[in-house]
């Protein structure tokens, strides 16, 4: 996605960032159609891991959008290539230091905590 974002100046990335929210909307509609407790189901299925995953998605989207913006408006003291390499370095540092660990912890919560919370809700 990051590689393709370079060709679309980061705009393609906004579609990828919006996808999880579309899934949440769809599942909310399914839960509402089934007549279940909509707010409780959404809270139990999203909040345990979403507290970490949603900020990670937003940060990853912003970092990738910055790559596209760097192509359009490079720093005046650098060439486009130098600005892009610097932006890629910043992107990689942010991914390794913050975003990937957030996704990793969110995945662990999604596998172990979220199902337990949902089971407690429907007992």
**Mean pLDDT across the chain:** 87
DSSP one-letter code for 78: S
Compute the CA torsion angle 34, 35, 36, 38 (nearest 10 deg): 100
Confidence of residue 1 (pLDDT cuts 50, 70, 90): low
Locate the domains of the chain by residue range. Answer: 2-121
Number of C-beta neighbours around residue 117 at 10 A: 15
> Span 79-88, mean pLDDT?
90
Residue 35 has pLDDT above 80, yes or no: no
Closest residue by Cα to residue 115 from 44, 23, 53: 44
Q: Which pLDDT value is given to residue 34?
A: 80
Cα 101 to the center of its chain, rounded Å: 13
Q: pLDDT by residue (tens digit) across 36-81?
A: 788 888 888 889 999 999 999 999 989 988 888 888 888 899 998 8
Please, is 112 exposed, middle or buried when counting C-beta atoms within 10 Å of its C-beta (0-12, 13-18, 19+)? exposed
pLDDT digits (tens, 9 = 90+) for 98-116: 999 999 999 999 999 999 9
Regarding predicted confidence, which is higher, 117 or 27?
117
């Amino acid at each position: 996605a990051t590689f393709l974002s370079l060709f679309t100046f980061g705009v393609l990335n906004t579609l990828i960032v919006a996808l999880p929210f579309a899934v949440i909307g769809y599942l909310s509609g399914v839960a509402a159609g089934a007549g279940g407790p909509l707010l409780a189901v959404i809270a139990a299925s999203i909040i345990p891991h979403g507290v970490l995953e949603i900020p990670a998605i937003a940060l990853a989207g912003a970092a990738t959008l910055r790559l596209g913006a760097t192509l359009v408006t490079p720093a005046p003291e650098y060439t486009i290539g130098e600005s892009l390499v610097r932006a890629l370095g910043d992107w990689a540092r942010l991914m390794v230091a913050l975003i990937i660990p957030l996704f990793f912890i969110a995945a662990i919560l999604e596998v172990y905590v979220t199902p337990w919370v949902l089971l407690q809700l429907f007992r």
